[in-house]
């Protein structure tokens, strides 16, 4: 949809802006999420409704019954410290020793990532897809001519400081009723400004009609991380091992596998292992962030296998590597084909030009942290290809930042005020999107809500 911007005349912003110093807030202490270690991640009975969590068996059973913790699975082995030589104790505070087959040794797991708030107990027992009715449209969005520009230095006043809850209860609680969400991962906006939400914890894709507030379930009992809408309003989503395309013939939605294998995860060129980001270009080429394989793949329309376009050199931080890549964005206007990648564990944004063997760091890359020049697990990116401004969901810092091209640091545009469910806060923000008026939508994951921040046109 950004292609349309070239047809429009951008007006420059001349607002007055203030710099606001930000501090990060320590996570509150949370109850440990425990599990039966026979429950594994990809079975129909995974330990948590959060698809990012899996059960790690404890090396030493606690209290005679607790045999595992349910914890975020995506941690890089290189960032994990081995347990003490007894294979039971850890010398690092607030960690617990777990068996890790992936890391091939017992490792000290941070208990903060094994809380019942991060990994709530699972309530989904089956993963059998159910197709329900939906409507789609091929109308293209109309876009505001006024846009945020690169001439500004700070951006606090460009979006309202308080978000409005447009989906979910809003106070942090989750639920499975039609108007509730359960650890949503991502939001997409169609040409009618309707919201399509990956309600991941409930295993369903929800559609919120903007015109009348009606909410419908497009698909239920599915694994779903990300949603993406192309220029024809086709909906794409990624699950554990593939990318699916939903298209509507009359009222019945059909599902087609457009990348990966819908049955098995793997590292072959026709497979994916926990895709964590999607971009579909105007030709229908699917770009997918193949998180557990530390690579980004490109699948042409009807292709039976993908082509590696970034990474695939193992888990690491060298410039030819990625570590658990998440959201991606492809520039179709300026540097056509350049891919911007949230290099999650490396706390940086990498840009890979077409055919490149190496990535270039364009944001972050200064270690994990809360400084303005740092990111703490970047999870989502939107690029404005005209201005080359990047908008990033800085997951661990509970903030959304704007990063100008070649800037040494970012500017906070939303959040950064602590971690709870107040209107100016987030609790682990994930997917971000803009509507055609540059209003910002944030998937406030652990607050179980979608927040909308109004774009302040008078700041331009
Ligand atoms: C763990 O799950 C397995 C398989 O469902 C079951 O046989 C076993 O009894 C469970 N153990 C506990 C302690 O709940
Ligand atoms: C965990 O590791 C310990 C020590 O290596 C081993 O004795 C135990 O069997 C392992 N437990 C499981 C469930 O794999
Ligand atoms: C084990 O039991 C003790 C005493 O009941 C309790 O204080 C502790 O929290 C328990 N540990 C876990 C991990 O539940
Ligand atoms: C700890 O685990 C390692 C394998 O990771 C094994 O070689 C070693 O013998 C174990 N040590 C003890 C005390 O069990
Ligand atoms: C789908 O639409 C058809 C035709 O209007 C209707 O008969 C059917 O009940 C609908 N199914 C659901 C699940 O809403
Ligand atoms: C949020 O609101 C719902 C509905 O009013 C209520 O049931 C729930 O207890 C509230 N949760 C919190 C954390 O205040
Ligand atoms: C809400 O709007 C959508 C799209 O215009 C329409 O399909 C749907 O029937 C409407 N629902 C109600 C309850 O009016
Ligand atoms: C997997 O994809 C193939 C080809 O699109 C389709 O025939 C099959 O029904 C799908 N299976 C599942 C479990 O979705
Ligand atoms: C691919 O997966 C296989 C089986 O799990 C493993 O043996 C192999 O080392 C993997 N290859 C790469 C490049 O990671
Ligand atoms: C892809 O396959 C579909 C169904 O066979 C076909 O209609 C379409 O033309 C193909 N597209 C391309 C670009 O090959
Ligand atoms: C919108 O921007 C103008 C100009 O910078 C500023 O005076 C005003 O306070 C802003 N409004 C909001 C709601 O932030």
The more confidently predicted of residues 56 and 16 is 56
**Same domain as 192, residue 105:** no
292 CA from centroid of ligand 5 (Å): 38
Q: Whose CA is nearest to atom 9 of ligand 6?
A: 173
Residue of 292 and 79 predicted with greater confidence: 292
Taking the centre of ligand 6 as the mean of its atom positions, its distance from the CA of residue 190, in whole angstroms, is: 30
Domain contains 175: yes
Report, as an integer, the average pLDDT of 64-70. Answer: 80
Looking at the predicted structure, is the pLDDT value of residue 124 above 50? no
The beta-strand segments (E) located in 370-425 are: 378-384, 389-394, 399-403, 411-415
Ligand nearest to the CA of 214: 7
Least confident interval from 92-106, 339-353, 414-428: 92-106
* Contact indicator for 185, 222 with CB cutoff of 8 Å: no
Name the domain boundary from 139, 166, 197. Answer: 139
Per residue in 206-238, is it b (16+ CB within 10 Å) or e — as a string?
A: bbbeeeeeeeebbbbbbbbbbbbbbbbbbbbbb
**pLDDT at residue 159 tops 70:** yes
| pLDDT score at 263 | 83
> Taking Cα atoms as reference points, which of 325, 339, 75 lies closest to residue 225?
325
Of residues 380, 370, 444, 414, the one with CA closest to residue 160? 414
**Residue 4: pLDDT above 70?**
no
User: How many CB atoms within 10 Å of residue 371?
Assistant: 15
pLDDT greater than 90 at residue 326:
yes
> Residue 126: is its pLDDT beyond 50?
no
Residues 6+ apart with CB under 8 A from 214: 208
Please work out whether the CB of residue 304 comes within 6 Å of at least one atom of ligand 10.
no
Q: Mark whether 305 and 278 lie in a shared domain.
A: yes
Residue 313 lies in a domain: yes
What's the CA-to-centroid distance between 131 and ligand 4, angstroms? 49
Instruction: Give the separation between CA 123 and CA 112, rounded to whole angstroms.
Output: 22
Choose among 387, 386, 323, 313: nearest CA to 349. Answer: 323
Quick one: which of 298, 300, 236 has its CA closest to 272?
Answer: 298
Number of domains observed in the structure of the chain: 2
Q: Do 324 and 392 sit in the same domain of this protein?
A: yes
More confident residue, 202 or 38: 202
Whether 405 is covered by a domain: the verdict is yes
* Minimal-distance CA residue to ligand 7 atom 14: 212
**H/E run at residue 57:** strand 53-62
Q: Dihedral angle at the C-alpha atoms of 415, 288, 241, 195, nearest 10 degrees?
A: 50
Q: Say if residue 122's pLDDT is above 90.
A: no
Rounded Cα gap, residues 70 and 239, in angstroms: 20
Domain annotation covers residue 275: yes
Q: Kindly state whether residues 83 and 227 are assigned to the same domain.
A: no
Q: How far apart are CA 215 and CA 196, in angstroms?
A: 10
Which token pair is 75? Answer: 């941690």
Specify whether 60 is located in the same domain as 150.
no
Establish if 95 belongs to a structural domain: yes
Shared domain check, 173 and 51: no
Task: Give the ligand whose atoms come closest to the C-alpha of residue 103.
Answer: 4
CATH number at residue 309: 2.120.10.30
Q: Identify whether residues 162 and 125 lie together within a single domain.
A: no
**Residue 262 shares a structural domain with residue 235:** yes
Same domain, 164 and 129: no
Q: Does residue 258 lie within any of the structural domains?
A: yes
pLDDT of residue 313: 97
Percentage, residues of the chain above pLDDT 70: 81
Tell me: do 251 and 364 sit in the same domain. yes
CB 349 within 8 A of CB 342: yes
- Dist. CA 252 → ligand 5 center (Å): 8
The pLDDT value recorded for residue 38 is: 60
Mean pLDDT value of segment 207-213: 93
Final residue of a domain: which of 139, 164, 194?
Answer: 139
Rounded Cα distance between 418 and 399, Å, is: 9
d(CA 93, CA 85): 16
The radius of gyration of the chain's CA atoms, rounded to the nearest angstrom, is 21
pLDDT of residue 139 exceeding 50? no
**Cβ pair 251, 214 in contact under 8 A:** no
Pair 426, 451: CB distance under 8 Å: yes
DSSP secondary structure letters along 69-108:
EEEE----GGGPPBPPTTSS--SSTTEEEE--TTTTS-EE
What are the tens digits of pLDDT across the range 383-435?
Answer: 998 889 999 999 989 999 999 999 999 999 999 998 889 999 999 999 999 99
- d(C-alpha 317, C-alpha 308), whole Å: 18
- pLDDT at residue 118, rounded to an integer: 77
Q: Give the closest ligand to the alpha carbon of residue 259.
A: 8
Contact 129, 219 (CB under 8 A): yes
Residues 177 and 78 in one domain: no
Which token pair is 430?
A: 């994930």
What is the atom index within ligand 3 of the atom nearest the CA of 32? 13
Range of the domain at 129: 20-139
pLDDT top residue among 297 and 4: 297
Q: Which ligand is nearest to the CA of 131?
A: 5
Between the CA of 258 and the centroid of ligand 10 the distance, in Å, is 11
111 and 164 in a single domain? The answer is: no
| 377 CA to centre of ligand 6 in angstroms | 29
Question: In which residue are the tokens 């091939």 written?
Answer: 104
Domain membership of residue 14 (yes or no) is no
Please indicate, yes or no, if residue 107 is contained in any of the structural domains: yes
Which of 139, 160, 191 is the endpoint of a domain? 139
Angle ∠(77,79,83) on CA atoms, nearest 5 = 75
């Amino acid at each position: 949809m950004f292609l349309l911007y070239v047809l429009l005349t951008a007006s420059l912003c001349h607002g007055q802006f203030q710099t606001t110093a930000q501090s990060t807030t320590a996570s509150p202490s949370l109850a440990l999420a425990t599990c039966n270690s026979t429950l594994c991640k990809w079975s129909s009975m995974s330990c948590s409704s959060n698809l990012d969590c899996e059960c790690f068996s404890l090396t030493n059973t606690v209290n005679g019954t607790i045999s595992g913790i349910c914890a975020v699975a995506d941690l890089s082995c290189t960032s994990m410290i081995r347990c003490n030589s007894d294979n039971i104790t850890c010398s690092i505070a607030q960690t617990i020793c777990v068996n890790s087959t992936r890391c091939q040794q017992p490792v000290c797991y941070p208990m903060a990532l094994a809380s019942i708030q991060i990994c709530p107990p699972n309530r989904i027992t089956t993963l059998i897809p159910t197709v329900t009715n939906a409507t789609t449209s091929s109308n293209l969005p109309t876009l505001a001519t006024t846009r945020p520009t690169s001439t500004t230095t700070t951006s606090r006043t460009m979006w309202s400081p308080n978000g409005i809850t447009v989906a979910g209860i809003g106070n942090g609680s989750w639920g499975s009723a039609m108007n509730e969400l359960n650890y949503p991962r991502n939001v997409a906006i169609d040409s009618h400004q309707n919201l399509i939400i990956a309600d991941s914890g409930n295993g369903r894709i929800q559609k919120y009609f903007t015109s009348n507030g009606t909410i419908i379930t497009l698909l239920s009992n599915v694994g779903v991380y990300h949603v993406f809408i192309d220029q024809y309003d086709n909906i794409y989503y990624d699950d554990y091992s593939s990318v699916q395309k939903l298209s509507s013939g009359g009222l019945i939605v059909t599902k087609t596998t457009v990348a990966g294998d819908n049955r098995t995860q793997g590292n072959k060129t026709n497979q994916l292992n926990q895709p964590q980001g999607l971009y579909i270009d105007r030709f229908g080429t699917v770009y997918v962030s193949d998180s557990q394989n530390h690579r980004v793949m490109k699948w042409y329309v009807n292709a039976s296998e993908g082509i590696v376009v970034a990474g695939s050199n193992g888990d690491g931080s060298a410039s030819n590597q990625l570590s658990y890549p998440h959201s991606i964005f492809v520039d179709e206007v300026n540097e056509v084909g350049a891919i911007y990648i949230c290099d999650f564990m490396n706390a940086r944004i990498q840009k890979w030009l077409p055919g490149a063997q190496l990535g270039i760091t364009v944001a972050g890359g200064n270690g994990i942290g809360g400084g303005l020049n740092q990111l703490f697990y970047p999870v989502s990116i939107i690029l404005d290809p005209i201005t080359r401004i990047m908008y990033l969901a800085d997951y661990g810092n509970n903030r959304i930042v704007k990063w100008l091209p070649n800037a040494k640091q970012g500017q906070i545009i939303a959040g950064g005020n602590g971690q709870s469910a107040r209107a100016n806060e987030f609790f682990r923000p994930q997917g971000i999107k803009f509507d055609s008026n540059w209003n910002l939508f944030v998937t406030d994951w652990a607050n179980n809500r979608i927040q909308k921040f109004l774009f302040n046109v008078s700041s331009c």
